[in-house]
Amino acid sequence: MALEDPESLTGAHILFQDYPYGLDGLDVWSAIKTWVRDFCDLFYEDDDSVKSDAEIQAWWSEIRNVGHGDKRNETWWYQMTTKTDLIQTLSTIIWIASALHASVNFGQYAYAGYPPNRPTRCRKFIPEEGTVEFAEFLKDPDKYFLSMLPERFQATLGIALMEVLSRHTSDEVYLGQRPTSEWIDNNEVKQIFKTFNDSLQEIGKKVLERNRDPKLNNRWGPAKMPYILLYPDASKVEISAGVTAKGVPNSVSI
């Protein structure tokens, strides 16, 4: 779906343009990585300054040897001896806890809120060939499928669960936002963060522009619902709570 492209601002080239998650996600990833790089450049002069930072080294050692002790000897771990290691690590953690989670979580209700799309449980097993149930399934697949679905009370619980999982809380803090301007007294950090916020607002505009492109059918789909799961909505501090299907929180909030 994508190829590495060092000359691209995002570091990759999407081969299939009608790929909402890939296109929007690369933009958000690029903004996150630029923000992290600028922040690290402010506090770390070179690779040696990363290696000599006792707190960073202790944090990374705990993650690798305690948090993931069963995988500590794998070869794919960053050694945390360079600024590049630190930037890539922090960018990945922020990406997973914010944009990646938003893309897979906050759209659940739109799909799974209709139980036949994704039943939370079934009352029957999938029939095996040669059985009476399999013959019933072949005779009328739709009828058999409906007979497998949970009864009304269980289905309602599933719908309620999907709604709760897909809701933004009233006190959600989104990527590129802070609830107060007094969160730090370092003006250089504030300026870097403002640049990050501005980048996210531009990404929001690009998302809406892509959604208006009639050639990008996958951004709406048969249900005619726009793809806005990675629309950062960083233009204001407060966003209406509930099932909005947009907005990238700073971290996983469930």
Q: Which pLDDT band, with edges at 50, 70 and 90, does 237 fall under?
A: very low
Does the structure show a pLDDT above 60 at 151?
yes
Q: Which pLDDT band, with edges at 50, 70 and 90, does 252 fall under?
A: confident
pLDDT over 70 percentage in the chain: 96
Global pTM exceeds 0.95: no
Kindly report the three-state secondary structure assignment for every residue of the chain: CEEECCCCCCCEEECCCCCHHHHHHHHHHHHHHHHHHHHHHHHCCCHHHHHCCHHHHHHHHHHHHHHCHHHCCCCCCCCCCCHHHHHHHHHHHHHHHHHHHHHHHCCHHHHHCCCCCCCCCCCCCCCCCCCHHHHHHHHCHHHHHHHHCCCHHHHHHHHHHHHHHHCECCCCCECCCCCCCCCCCCHHHHHHHHHHHHHHHHHHHHHHHHHCCCCCHHHCCCCCCCCCCCCCCCCCCCCCCECCCCCCECCCCC
Query: What pLDDT sits at residue 171?
Result: 79
Residue range 43-59: average pLDDT? 97
Query: What pLDDT sits at residue 192?
Result: 95
Query: What pLDDT sits at residue 253?
Result: 66
168 against 83, higher pLDDT: 83
Q: Which pLDDT band, with edges at 50, 70 and 90, does 97 fall under?
A: very high
